[in-house]
Amino acid sequence: MIDEIKSVLMECEILENINILGVKEFKMFSYELIIKADLIINIKNKVAITICIPKMWYENLIDIYIDKYDNLPFMPHINQRGKICLFELEGCLIDRNLAGIIIQSLFRARSILEKGFLGENSEDFIEEFELYISELQSVRQAKFVVPKLKQDMLLKCKSKDTKQNRKERYAEFMQKKNQLIYYLGESSKELERWDEQRTSIKNAAYFLIYPKRIIYPPDIREHISLDYLNLLLKYTPSKSGKILLKLPNEKVIVFAINQPNGVCNYLGFSITGGVIKKIDQKYYFESCKTIKPIVIRRVDKEYMLMRTKETAITKQKKILVIGCGSIGGHLINELVKSGYDDLTIVDDDILTEENIFRHVLGMEYVSSSKCDALENYIRRNIPDASIKPLKEKAEEAILEEDLELDEYDMVISAVGNHNFNRWLNEYVMSKQLKVPIIYAWNEVYGIGNHVAYFKIGNKACYECLFGRDEYSGEIYDKTAYCRRGQNIVYNSGGCGKSYVPYGNTISIKTVLLCLDMIRNIFENNVNDNMLISMKGDNNYFASKGLEVSPRYLNQEEQIKKLFGKEFFNCKCGVCNGDKR
pLDDT at 404 over 70: yes
Confidence bin at 483 (pLDDT 50/70/90)? very high
Across 190-194, 319-323, 408-412, 521-525, least confident range: 190-194
Residue closest to 153 by CA, chosen among 207, 201, 202: 207
pLDDT for position 38: 95
In sequence order, the 6+-apart residues with CB closer than 8 A to the CB of 248 are 202, 203
- Burial zone of 176 (CB within 10 Å; 0-12 exposed, 13-18 middle, 19+ buried): middle
Cβ atoms 319, 497 nearer than 8 A? no
pLDDT at 176 over 70: no
Cβ atoms 379, 369 nearer than 8 A? no
pTM (two decimals) = 0.75
Domain 2-122 class in CATH: alpha beta
Q: What is the mean pLDDT of residues 101-121?
A: 93
- For the domain spanning 311-567, the CATH number is 3.40.50.720
8-state DSSP, 407 = G
Q: What is the mean pLDDT of residues 291-310?
A: 83
Radius of gyration in angstroms for the set of CA atoms belonging to the chain, rounded to a whole number: 32
Cβ atoms 394, 325 nearer than 8 A? no
Helix pair angle (98-118, 2-10), 10° resolution: 40
Residues paired with 48 in a beta bridge: 38
pLDDT at 150 over 70: yes
pLDDT for position 355: 87
Segment 196-238, tens digit of pLDDT: 655 789 999 999 999 999 999 999 999 999 999 999 999 998 8
In sequence order, the 6+-apart residues with CB closer than 8 A to the CB of 370 are 324, 325, 328, 329, 347, 349, 350, 351, 361
Q: Between 192 and 92, where is the model more confident?
A: 192
Helix pair angle (326-337, 370-381), 10° resolution: 30
Q: State the average pLDDT for the chain.
A: 89
Segment 250-279, tens digit of pLDDT: 999 999 999 999 999 999 999 999 899 988
pLDDT at 54 over 60: yes
Around 38, how many Cα atoms within 13 Å sit in the side-chain half-sphere?
Answer: 6
Going from N- to C-terminal start, the domains of the chain cover 2-122, 129-299, 311-567
Across 27-41, 81-95, 308-322, least confident range: 308-322
pLDDT at 175 over 90: no
pLDDT at 314 over 70: no
pLDDT for position 574: 93
pLDDT for position 580: 41
Confidence bin at 522 (pLDDT 50/70/90)? very high
Residue closest to 201 by CA, chosen among 191, 216, 210: 191
pLDDT at 170 over 60: no
Cβ atoms 270, 255 nearer than 8 A? no
The amino acid at 323: G
pLDDT at 495 over 50: no
pLDDT for position 261: 92
Segment 60-81, tens digit of pLDDT: 889 999 999 999 999 999 999 9
Q: What is the mean pLDDT of residues 354-370?
A: 92
CA pair distance 40, 47, nearest whole angstrom: 7
pLDDT for position 579: 43
CA pair distance 323, 306, nearest whole angstrom: 29
8-state DSSP, 83 = B
Confidence bin at 190 (pLDDT 50/70/90)? confident
* Element housing 222 (H / E): none
CA pair distance 420, 417, nearest whole angstrom: 6
List phi, psi (to 5°) of 24.
-165, 155
Segment 533-576, tens digit of pLDDT: 999 999 989 988 999 999 999 999 999 999 999 999 988 989 97
Ranges of beta strands (E only) in 186-274 are 199-209, 251-258, 264-272
CA pair distance 82, 569, nearest whole angstrom: 73
DSSP secondary structure of 136-162 = STT-EEEEE---SS-S-EEEEEEEE--
CA pair distance 146, 148, nearest whole angstrom: 7
